[in-house]
Amino acid sequence: MRLSKQLIPTLREIPAEAEISSHLFMLKAAMIRKLASGIYIYLPIGQRVLRKVEQIIREEMDRAGAQEVLMSSLIPSELWRESGRWDVFGPEMFKLKDRNDREFCLGPTHEEVFTDLIRNEIKSYRQLPITLYQIQTKFRDERRPRFGVMRSREFIMKDAYSFDTDWDKLDVSFAQMYEAYCRIFDRCGLEYTVVEADSGAMGGKDSKEFMVTSNVGEASIVYCENCGYAANEEKAECLPDTVSNEKMFPPEKIKTPDARTIEELVTFLKTVPNRFVKTLIYKFNDKIIAALVRGDRELNEVKLLNVLKAVEQDLEMADSKTVEEATGAKVGFAGPIGLKGDVLVIVDREIPEMKNFIIGANETGYHIKNINYGRDFKADIVADIRNAVEGDKCPKCGKPIKIKRGIEVGHIFKLGTKYSDALGANFIDEDGNERPIIMGCYGIGVNRTIAAVIEQNHDEKGIIWPMSIAPYHVEIVPVNVSDHIQKNLSERLYKEFQDADIEVLIDDRDLRAGVKFNDADLLGIPIRITVGKKAGENIVELKLRSSDKVEEIAVSEVVEKVK
């Protein structure tokens, strides 16, 4: 491709909105332009890189036995009502109406649509297992779109869904996807950590995130150098060294009593700084209570009180049992809850605004319906924020943990029967019994992956593409295009590369050499061939973008060498 003919309007100035390197270089190298907040268009160079990443993903998905499909972006609300997510997904969902007032959304994710397809098409165990995927545009009205395509409101996701007859087979499908993900991110040249994660609004059990190590990452990775434990911040169940509270709360502000009754504990918690409740770790009657809560604070307070009540009554809580499961009622906010050794854990999902709800512990007969917070009681508990900090105990081996920042590029998890139950996606097993299909789901942010590659592969001048996803492999730079010898030799090489099926870009623009070299560094094509003064002797310069070394080389050897 010729730079003179292609739309590659590189920028000289630093765009004001770019806070991080990948955003800066994607704008400067003319890969993307902003259309509106969190909405980007892709120019030729950006589009080529997108296609390369998609191609790697396709190859690895196909290799793992997954089949590509394409779902619609416009999804009728009925499907989301069936799964119960229409009202709980929250403001991230773009909702719209057609001319007949029927409600739709622009798909932020596609569990419902895939489950709907499968419930209609799959009837027998003989048709399973099956894994389907698509590479498609997703829409999320992010609260804070930022960092260019890293967190945008319209983005491309590869999402895959597996359908199995039992949990053991799901483990196999999950492992296949796990391996495919490693191969994809390895091929993209990324350095990453796989961490234990929480499954968030999608629901489900085992959940792992692929985190690209980067200081600009919005996620925190808790990891242990001793035993290899790694988890994201929400999931990490690290405990402070001692439960003396010294490290949990700022010691100068709080002295924690060893509370024995809920009232004592509540009194204490009132003295804790009034901030958004996120994580509370507290010792209560010799039990360590860890409450990981997110979302609306008042509801969290209620939830917390219920947990404390349950502890007081010494209830045994089944692992992963939810209030919803226990009562069959849709409360919309209860997450898994259970005792893990001495640690009582309650995990809440993002909580929607709710007035009347169910309180109680996860035991049949321990619930009260239609409780109105405020009318029936008010629990004025305020707890401190505390995420894991360096030096906390690793939950696996007890050695001190470390923390680093990461970019979530992929997320895989076991959904189980959450969607197949809700939508009635069943199959007939060998014995003729009807059973729900066991599902898994697997996402990769395609655009975000590109941004992550740039974060890990750049210098102050620009991008340093790994060969695998570089928009072109070779760039030929004639130093002076009005010099006929240089021009002709460049054109000859350009043709030779094309004939050898090597993706080649030629900077045939009539510009100063300095400008062209700057653009070459910015664009980051892995191999640069400079055709300059020695063109007359049939000698050119070869330079890798990743190194400063310049090598003189005979024209006759160039294409062979690059191959």
Which stretches of the chain bind Mg ion, using CB under 5 A?
408, 411
Smaller CB separation from ligand ATP, 49 or 265: 49
C-beta closer to Mg ion: residue 89 or 497: 89
User: Taking the complex as a whole, how short is the minimal distance between the CB of residue 418 and ligand ATP, in angstroms?
Assistant: 15
Residue nearest to Mg ion (CB): 411
* Residue 204 interacts with which of ligand ATP, Mg ion, none, CB < 5 to 8 Å by class: none
**CB neighbours (10 Å) of residue 101?**
6
Which residue's CB is nearer to Mg ion, number 105 or number 481? 105
* H-helix or E-strand spanning residue 115: helix 111-121
Residue 183 backbone dihedrals phi, psi, to 5 degrees: -65, -40
**Which does residue 447 touch among ligand ATP, Mg ion, none (CB within 5 to 8 A, set by kind)?**
ligand ATP
Q: How far is the CB of 235 from ligand ATP (least distance, A)?
A: 12
528 binds, among Mg ion, ligand ATP, none (CB under 5 to 8 A by kind): none
Which does residue 119 bind out of ligand ATP, Mg ion, none, counting CB within 5 to 8 angstroms by kind? none
Residue 458 partner contact from Mg ion, ligand ATP, none using kind-dependent CB cut-offs of 5 to 8 Å: none
* Nearest approach, Cβ of residue 190 and ligand ATP (Å): 12
Cβ neighbour number for residue 512 with a 10 Å cutoff: 11
Quick one: 235 or 545, whose CB is closer to ligand ATP? 235
Q: What is the DSSP string of 176-244?
A: HHHHHHHHHHHHTT--EEEEE---GGG--S-EEEEEEE-TT-SEEEEE-TTT--EEETTT---B-SSSS
Cα of 491 vs its chain's centroid, Å: 44
Nearest position to ligand ATP, beta carbon? 445
Nearer to ligand ATP, 129 or 410 (CB): 410
With respect to Mg ion, which residue has the nearer C-beta, 111 or 384?
111
**Which tokens hold the place of 15?**
């765009």
Per 3-state DSSP, the chain is made up of helix, strand and coil in percentages (nearest 5) of 30, 30, 40
Task: Please answer whether residues 142 and 152 qualify as being in contact, where contact means their C-beta atoms are separated by less than 8 angstroms.
Answer: yes
CB of 24 to ligand ATP, least distance (A): 17
Task: Tell me which DSSP letter residue 148 carries.
Answer: G
Please name the amino acid found at residue 417.
T
Look up residue 136 and give its two tokens. Answer: 């498609």
Query: Minimum Å distance from CB 145 to ligand ATP?
Result: 7
**Least Å from the CB of residue 174 to Mg ion:** 15
Closer residue to Mg ion in complex, CB, 175/201 = 201
CB of 195 vs Mg ion, minimal distance in Å = 11
Minimum distance from residue 128 beta carbon to ligand ATP (Å)? 24
Q: Checking phi first, is residue 42 left (phi over 0); if not, alpha (psi -120 to 50) or beta?
A: beta
Give the CA count within 13 Å in the CB-facing half-sphere of 137.
12
Nearer to Mg ion, 413 or 427 (CB): 413
- Selection from ligand ATP, Mg ion, none that 352 binds (CB < 5 to 8 A by kind) is none
Give the residue with the Cβ less far from Mg ion, 302 or 450: 450
CB of 325 to ligand ATP, least distance (A): 23
Which residues are within 8 A (CB) of 425 and not within 5 positions of it... i.e. 6 or more apart? 115, 116, 118, 119, 122, 163, 419, 436, 437, 439
Residue 155 interaction partner, one of ligand ATP, Mg ion, none, beta carbon < 5-8 Å per kind: ligand ATP
Q: Residue 358 binds what, of ligand ATP, Mg ion, none (CB under 5 to 8 Å, by partner type)?
A: none
Q: What are phi and psi of 54, to 5 degrees?
A: -60, -40
Least distance between Mg ion and beta carbon 463 (Å): 26
Among Mg ion, ligand ATP, none, the one that 555 touches (CB under a kind-dependent 5 to 8 A) is none
Which run of H or of E encompasses 412? strand 402-416
Q: Which is nearer to Mg ion, 160 or 558 (CB)?
A: 160
C-alpha–C-alpha distance, residues 243 and 246, integer Å: 8
Residue 152 binding partner per list ligand ATP, Mg ion, none, with a CB distance cut-off of 5 to 8 Å that depends on partner kind = ligand ATP
The binder of 142, among ligand ATP, Mg ion, none, by C-beta within 5 to 8 A per type, is ligand ATP
Q: Smallest distance from the beta carbon of 427 to ligand ATP, in angstroms? A: 27
Our CB check for ligand ATP shows the closer of 308 and 409 to be 409
* Amino acid at the residue 140: R
Amino acid in position 313: Q
Q: Which of 510, 490, 419 has the alpha carbon at shortest distance from 113?
A: 419
Q: What is the DSSP string of 25-76?
A: HHHHTTSEEEEETTEEEE-HHHHHHHHHHHHHHHHHHHHTT-EE----SEEE
Contact residues for ligand ATP, defined by CB under 6 A = 109, 140, 142, 151-152, 155, 157, 200, 408-411, 443, 445, 447-448
Structure tokens at 212: 């690209």
